[in-house]
Amino acid sequence: MTKQGTKPNILVVNDDGITATGIKNLMEVMQELGNVVVVAPDSPQSGMGHAITIGKPIRFDKVDLYAGVEMYKCSGTPVDCVKIAVNKIFKGKKPDLCVSGINHGLNNSINVLYSGTMSAAVEGAIERIPSIGFSLDDFAADADFSYTKKYIKNICEQVLANGLPEGTLLNVNFPKGDNLKGVKICRQANAKWMEEFDERTDPYKRPYYWLTGVFE
């Protein structure tokens, strides 16, 4: 919880990359709530899970994509982004809130283990920062995130005011479409991907495989 009268410091991360539409929308909501620092991968990192970079350098550079926002692009994974932010940008002084997303696509059930979005939020929780991952059921580059904003703001306001139990984070998923009826708290679903590997041939007649499948 933040001290009365002080603006909270908020870390914004994602896995779709620093130029993704989702992180822009999330950043805009967080600007209404506090001081925002954005650290995001310099390219899409979906499906990276809780991977970290070992054996090669991580680079992060300040960028000026949006006026008045402190933003950094990072060569590493979403989890690297959180680690870099805590250690080098906040210099060990933890932010009051870590939000990840808004992801293009749901992060329900087993996807929580694969998701870079949720792994960034998990890393925030490991650092004892109240953390939330947000996802929308729309993979389109121009997805409409506008109707999620009031819910995101309300949820974040409650977490900033009341905190979260240590070792707990929130995974918030929005269906596609603006006809939302409200918020429902639920258990993590028991569903998984029914996967196949589509075998193809490259120009040199060598086989390669493309992961496909449906979510059941």
Range of the domain at 54: 9-189
Mean pLDDT of the chain: 92
Within-domain flag for 3:
no
40 neighbors 22 (Cβ within 8 angstroms)? no
Within-domain flag for 164:
yes
Residues whose CB falls within 8 Å of the CB of residue 108, separated by 6 or more in sequence, listed in order: 171, 173, 188, 189, 191
Q: What is the CATH number of the domain that holds 183?
A: 3.40.1210.10
C-alpha to C-alpha distance for 48 and 61, rounded to whole angstroms:
21
Q: Please state, in angstroms and as integers, the Cα–Cα distance from residue 194 to each residue in 5, 135, 180, 213, following that order.
A: 51, 21, 29, 5
Within-domain flag for 25:
yes
Query: In the chain, how many domains are there?
Result: 1
Within-domain flag for 202:
no
Q: What percent of the chain has pLDDT over 70?
A: 98
Within-domain flag for 216:
no
Q: pLDDT digit string (tens) for 67-99?
A: 889 999 999 999 999 999 999 999 878 999 999
The neighbour count for residue 6, using CB atoms within 10 Å, is 10
Q: pLDDT digit string (tens) for 111-164?
A: 888 899 999 999 999 999 999 999 999 988 889 999 999 999 999 999 999 999
Q: What is the pTM of this model?
A: 0.90
DSSP state of 127: T
pLDDT category at 15 given cuts 50, 70, 90 is very high
